[in-house]
Structure 1
Amino acid sequence: MAQQIEEYDKIRAYIQDFLGIPQGLEQINVKKDSSDLPFTPDLVLMKADMIYIAEIKSKVTIDVISRLNLLRDLWLRKKPAEKIQLVIAAKYFPQREEDLMKQLDIQAIKLPWSFKSEIQEQYTSTNQKITSEKSWKVISRLLKEKKTSIRQLSLIENVSYGWTHKTIRTLMQQNIVKQDNNHVSISDVNKLLNGVAWERPLSNLKIAEIRIKFDEAATAAKEITSAFKSQDDLPLGFSSYTAASLYTGYGVRHDAVYVYMKTEHLGYFRELFESSSKKGVLALIYQPDREIFRNTREIEGIRIVSPAQTLLDLAGMGYSAMDVTKQMVSDYGTI
């Protein structure tokens, strides 16, 4: 532990020197300023009226960039008047990630190879992701039941008691779940949704954006469902806004569809539906990171993923989908 602290201090000093921040300048009160967030950055410094929010990694990834960008959005929603500069300190910046950082105005600091640069992420300090397949079964069931026991969650979702208990304890440590005698319930839905957006951004699963020959999303989704059913029932599942509109009746965008399919079926999809026009419905296509096709259902001729998967995907879109996500949470017990 002492060695880890020493390494952290060395990296912090290197970053401060790079940014021209005098040594001895204290970090701002990270705990206070990020208490409403589901995670805290590796380092936060202030110079004049500029706040520097930094992540420290060995190698930069799209996931690191998207999480840091989300953190800035969440922070500015709390304090919109503050000036924020994002920083990633790493030993290696792949070209694609470096280009994206420039577009998002994220400053890069290259660390010497000899530094031990992996700082443990605080949100996932338990090493158990809340968005893993088993954990999300437990959490989505708790959202549906509203208040129940850990044992009941385990039995209903057929998840081991040990895993269920650990998932709930993880959320209790983060003040997302509260316990009343033998029953537990979600106490902070916003923090839960922010945590999902941080841990599993839906954009990470996107494999294609294809303009298709339709003017309206519902018509497109029905036709695509029919085309996949006609070929020995190829696996397919609409999610996000497309599924949420059918589950809740909540009015959402009609210029795009959001759909899971296997990568090997992308060619078939393009052959049937791709348009050369810049107009028409946009199909955002995702590759599943878990088994989602087994629990699909059909509503109004459109095959959609389960309510639990829909909610997970909406939350993974962050604030851009927050209104419909909260509507989904509100209706979840009756779906």
Structure 2
Amino acid sequence: MTLTDRSSDVVEFILNALDLPTSPEILDVGNLYEVLGQDFPFQPDMMLKAGGRLYFIEVVSRVASLDTIARMQLLRELWRRKGQELPEPVLVIAARAIHPREEQLAEKLDIQVIRLPWKPDLPLKHEYKPSKSRLTTEKSWKVVSRLLKEKSTSIRQLALREGVSYGWAHKIIGALIEQEIVERNDSYVRIVDVKRLLNGIAWERPMKNLQIAEVPIDFSESIPAARDISYMLERQKIPFAFTGYTSGGLYTGYAVRQDAVSLYLEEKHLDLFEEFFSGPSGGGIRAWIYAPDRDVFTDTRQIEGITIVSPAQTLLDLAGLGYSVMDLTKAMVDRYAAL
């Protein structure tokens, strides 16, 4: 991995803040799975080696949370359990902000905290390349979502329908079989534990990591808001697409949340969005804005005059919202084959 594989501004800032004794070697985080085992669902955003020390670095786009600290501590404990011959890692959290309680806890756990500059033009985690997680990368999700749609099919058909290699499809299905999410019967495979699948998605790709803003907007209901926003942004030729509660409700007919809308928008267009739509902070509803970590704008659909992400992306995003939307996520799973 080279510096150009990640946002160079962020990487350079972190390296300067660490004040390393020697020039660092940036490692491929994908190799972590080979050491820790295929069942381990978490990896740092960066790994580097310098001065004989190994650094695990997590980059947080906004405020570092207790969950961030817990995940880093879990990573260290699992690393230690793999054997005495492995070097003790230095844990680092790079975030725009951290609350005092979390900072004190990080200090007690010997986790170094780096504060990133609060600059709107500083590229952060949501602009990085997708992580090499097993289920939620763009390529992996093609296989998983196709299996959800087909219910029962062969690995070869999964590969053919989604345009991926047979070897890749076999690898993903093999990982799902090991986790008892999928079972194989002769040449056919099917998902047998949807709940475990959804939990795995929520762990690997939480939507909160992609959120870049929560904007109060001057509307009283979510559907009229989404329709007007779609109309105006399309005419400005700004890429966008509604997701989460908004697209999930439109696809399933499930009750749509009325106090908020959710949409993907590139960060460079955030100022314009706020100029067009922001309203008084004490009234109206809110727009939860997420920065895309993959191409979410190509395969969009229009329902009721609202531009929404594809069914596959909607399901992935709903799962990433966790237990708070589990009923809607399950409704999306039930309807998914027909969409």
TM-score by length of 2: 0.67
Alpha-carbon distance between aligned partners in 1 of 2:169 and 2:265, rounded to the nearest angstrom: 29
Match of 2:99, SS state, is helix
Instruction: State whether residues 155 and 188 of structure 2, in contact with CA within 8 Å, keep that contact through their aligned partners in structure 1.
Output: yes
- CA displacement at 1:266 relative to structure 2: 1.3
- CA displacement at 1:110 relative to structure 2: 3.5
Q: Which residue of 1 aligns with 2:330?
A: 326
Alpha-carbon distance between aligned partners in 1 of 2:190 and 2:294, rounded to the nearest angstrom: 26
Query: Residues 222 and 138 from structure 1, CA distance in 2 versus in 1: closer, same or farther, beyond 3 angstroms?
Result: same
How big is each residue's C-alpha offset from its partner over 1:26-59, in whole Å with a ceiling of 9 and x where there is no partner?
xxxxxxxxxxxx86899xxxxxxxxxxxxxx844
Instruction: State whether residues 67 and 198 of structure 1, in contact with CA within 8 Å, keep that contact through their aligned partners in structure 2.
Output: no
How big is each residue's C-alpha offset from its partner over 1:283-310, in whole Å with a ceiling of 9 and x where there is no partner?
0001100011000010000000000000
Query: Residues 255 and 292 from structure 1, CA distance in 2 versus in 1: closer, same or farther, beyond 3 angstroms?
Result: same
From 157, 161, 180, the equivalent of 1:175 is 180
Between Structure 1 and Structure 2, how many residues are aligned?
A: 253
**1:301 maps to 2:305:** yes
- CA displacement at 1:184 relative to structure 2: 0.4
Alpha-carbon distance between aligned partners in 1 of 2:315 and 2:321, rounded to the nearest angstrom: 10
Query: Residues 141 and 112 from structure 1, CA distance in 2 versus in 1: closer, same or farther, beyond 3 angstroms?
Result: closer
Match of 1:148, SS state, is strand
**1:227 maps to 2:218:** no
**1:102 maps to 2:102:** yes
Instruction: State whether residues 311 and 328 of structure 1, in contact with CA within 8 Å, keep that contact through their aligned partners in structure 2.
Output: yes
Percent identity, please: 47
Query: Residues 236 and 136 from structure 1, CA distance in 2 versus in 1: closer, same or farther, beyond 3 angstroms?
Result: same
The 5-angstrom pairing of residues 161-310 of structure 1 reads 161-231=166-236, 233-310=237-314
For residue 325 of structure 1, what is the amino acid of its counterpart? T
Q: Which residue of 1 aligns with 2:25?
A: none
- CA displacement at 1:66 relative to structure 2: 3.3
Alpha-carbon distance between aligned partners in 2 of 1:141 and 1:41, rounded to the nearest angstrom: 24
Q: Which structure is larger by alpha-carbon Rg, 1 or 2?
A: 1
- CA displacement at 1:264 relative to structure 2: 1.7
CA RMSD of aligned residues (A): 3.0
Query: Residues 97 and 61 from structure 1, CA distance in 2 versus in 1: closer, same or farther, beyond 3 angstroms?
Result: farther
For residue 196 of structure 1, what is the amino acid of its counterpart? I
Instruction: State whether residues 216 and 254 of structure 1, in contact with CA within 8 Å, keep that contact through their aligned partners in structure 2.
Output: yes
- CA displacement at 1:96 relative to structure 2: 5.6
For residue 247 of structure 1, what is the amino acid of its counterpart? Y
Match of 1:285, SS state, is strand
Match of 2:190, SS state, is strand
- CA displacement at 1:111 relative to structure 2: 3.7
Query: Residues 100 and 303 from structure 1, CA distance in 2 versus in 1: closer, same or farther, beyond 3 angstroms?
Result: farther
- CA displacement at 1:90 relative to structure 2: 5.9
In structure 2, list runs of 5 or more residues that go unmatched: 1-38, 44-54, 72-88, 113-131
Query: Residues 41 and 275 from structure 1, CA distance in 2 versus in 1: closer, same or farther, beyond 3 angstroms?
Result: closer
Query: Residues 160 and 273 from structure 1, CA distance in 2 versus in 1: closer, same or farther, beyond 3 angstroms?
Result: same
Query: Residues 263 and 112 from structure 1, CA distance in 2 versus in 1: closer, same or farther, beyond 3 angstroms?
Result: closer
- CA displacement at 1:315 relative to structure 2: 0.4
**1:140 maps to 2:140:** no
For residue 294 of structure 2, what is the amino acid of its counterpart? R
